[in-house]
Amino acid sequence: MIRSLRGMNDTLDIDDSARFSYFIQTATRIAKNYGFRFIETPQLEETALFKRSVGESSDIVGKEMYQFTDKGDNDVCLRPEGTAGVVRAFVQNKYDRQETVQRLFYHGTMFRYERPQKGRLRQFHQFGCESFGEANVLEDASLILMVRDIFNALGINFTLKLNSLGDSNCMPQYRDTLIEFLGSNEEDICEDCKRRKATNPIRVLDCKNSHCQEIYADAPKLMQNLCEGCDTDFKALTNILDEHGLSYEIDTHLVRGLDYYSKTAFEFISTEIGAQSAIAGGGRYDRLVEFLDGRPTPAIGFAIGIERLMELIKMPETSREGYYFGAMDENAINLAYKIGMKKRQRDKVTIGYKARNLKAHLKAADKADAQYCVILGENELKNKTLWIKDLVDKTESEIPQSEF
C-alpha cells in the first residue's frame, strides 16, 4: 500500500476539517477588519528567493528545503514560508512604486524537511499577514494586537515574547561586541555556535545547548545597546501594548530562525501543546524589499502555524447553519429540490434526494448541521405549504410556500 510521506498528513477527520475552516474563517474576518486583503502566491519558487531572504546560514535554507532541479533545469524549491513569496510578488507587480500602504494576508501549505514530531510537520499550514509601507510603530502594535484578537476569538491562551533586533545603525556594532564575547568563550561553546559565530553570530543566542545558554546569560544584550531610534520605537511599542492590556515578556534571546528581521521581533507561545510551543511568529523586515530588488519599503508581518492550534481551538457551541430540504412523497422531490436550489443562492442548503419519513429527514438535517429542517409531504403539496423545524430552539411551524 502506498502511504503518505512522513510528516505529511491528510485532513479527513470531520472535527479537524471543521476546526480548520473555522480558524480560516475567523482569522480572515479579523485580518479584513484590520484592512488586509487576500493574496495567493505559488508554492514553488526559485531557490534563490529563499537564499536571499530567509538567509543561507539559517537552518530553514541550509538544511530543510525541498529543493530540486525541474525539467527545464531550474533550481526550484517548495516554499518553506510565505513572506519571501509575498515580497517577491509585491516587487514584481511594482507595488513598491505606489505610495499607499499595502496590507496582504495569505494561507496555505509550507514545506520544511524537519524531523517530524508532535507539532512539527514537513508539510504544514500557515496563516500570515504582511504589511508594506508603514514604518510607524503603531503598525507593529496593530499586527501584534491582531494576533491577540485572533487567538482570543478562538479561545486560545498564549504568552507573548518580544524583542528588538536593532537596525543597520546598532546591529553591526552589537554583532562585533558579541563576536568578541564569543571569541573569549570559544573553548566552551558548542560546534554549532562556533560555526554560527562566523556565519550569523546572533543566532547563537537561541542555541538549544544548555551549557551554551549558561554562557550566554552573561553575553552583551542588544536591548541595552540599541540606537536611539530603535530604543524609542521599542519603548513606544511596549507602551501601546500596555495601554491595550496585552502583557508580554521581553526575551533578549528571541532572535527568530529567519535572517530578514530588524527591530521588532515577536513570538506567541502556548504552554498547552508540548515542546513545539511557538504558535505564531513575526517581526519587522524593513530591508527585505530592497534585498529583493524593490524600492526601500518598511514592512512587518507574522505567520500563525495552523496545525499547532488544532487542539487549542474552542469551537462555538452550535455550528448549525442554513437549511435541510427533504420530501416525504415521491411527487414532492422535484419541488423540494427547486425551492432548495433557490434558497441556495443566499444560504447554506443541503437537499435530500429521496422520499423518506420525517424521522429520517430530521436525522439527516442534524447530520448536515442545518439549523432548519424543511419538509414537503403530501399534505404540504396539497396545501401549498412547507413544514419547518428550527433545530436550535426546537420550534415547529407550517408556512405557505409563497412566503418562504
Give the residues lining the site for ligand HAM (CB under 6 A): 81-83, 112, 114, 120-121, 124, 126, 128, 130, 257-258, 278-283, 301-303, 305, 307-308
Instruction: Quote the least distance from Cβ 20 to ligand HAM, whole Å.
Output: 14
Instruction: Quote the least distance from Cβ 112 to ligand HAM, whole Å.
Output: 5
The amino acid that residue 151 corresponds to is F
Give whichever of 83 and 142 is closer to ligand HAM, judged by the CB atom. 83
The amino acid that residue 315 corresponds to is M
Strand partners, 397: 388
Rounded CA-CA distance 190/101 in Å is 44
Instruction: Quote the least distance from Cβ 87 to ligand HAM, whole Å.
Output: 9
Q: Concatenated DSSP letters for 10-76?
A: ----HHHHHHHHHHHHHHHHHHHHTT-EE----SEEEHHHHIIIIITTSHHHHH---EEE-TT--EE
Give whichever of 256 and 343 is closer to ligand HAM, judged by the CB atom. 256
Instruction: Quote the least distance from Cβ 7 to ligand HAM, whole Å.
Output: 8
Give whichever of 160 and 365 is closer to ligand HAM, judged by the CB atom. 160
Task: Name the closest residue to ligand HAM (Cβ).
Answer: 305
Chain-centre distance for alpha carbon 366: 31
Rounded CA-CA distance 245/240 in Å is 9
Which residues lie below 8 Å from residue 234, measured CB to CB, with a gap of 6+?
Answer: 164, 223, 226, 263, 264
Contacts 24+ apart (CB under 8 A), 204-211: 204/178, 205/252, 205/253, 205/255, 206/253, 206/254, 206/255, 206/257
Give whichever of 128 and 201 is closer to ligand HAM, judged by the CB atom. 128
Instruction: Quote the least distance from Cβ 96 to ligand HAM, whole Å.
Output: 17
Rounded CA-CA distance 170/180 in Å is 16
Instruction: Quote the least distance from Cβ 309 to ligand HAM, whole Å.
Output: 8
Instruction: For residue 345, give the C-alpha cell.
Output: 443562492
Rounded CA-CA distance 45/76 in Å is 6
Give whichever of 12 and 275 is closer to ligand HAM, judged by the CB atom. 275
Give whichever of 82 and 377 is closer to ligand HAM, judged by the CB atom. 82
Instruction: Quote the least distance from Cβ 227 to ligand HAM, whole Å.
Output: 22
Give whichever of 126 and 371 is closer to ligand HAM, judged by the CB atom. 126
**Beta strands at 37-38 and 102-111: parallel, antiparallel or unpaired:** parallel
Instruction: Quote the least distance from Cβ 4 to ligand HAM, whole Å.
Output: 15
> Hey, is 84 helix, strand or coil?
helix
Give whichever of 280 and 336 is closer to ligand HAM, judged by the CB atom. 280
Q: Which H/E stretch holds residue 326?
A: strand 323-327
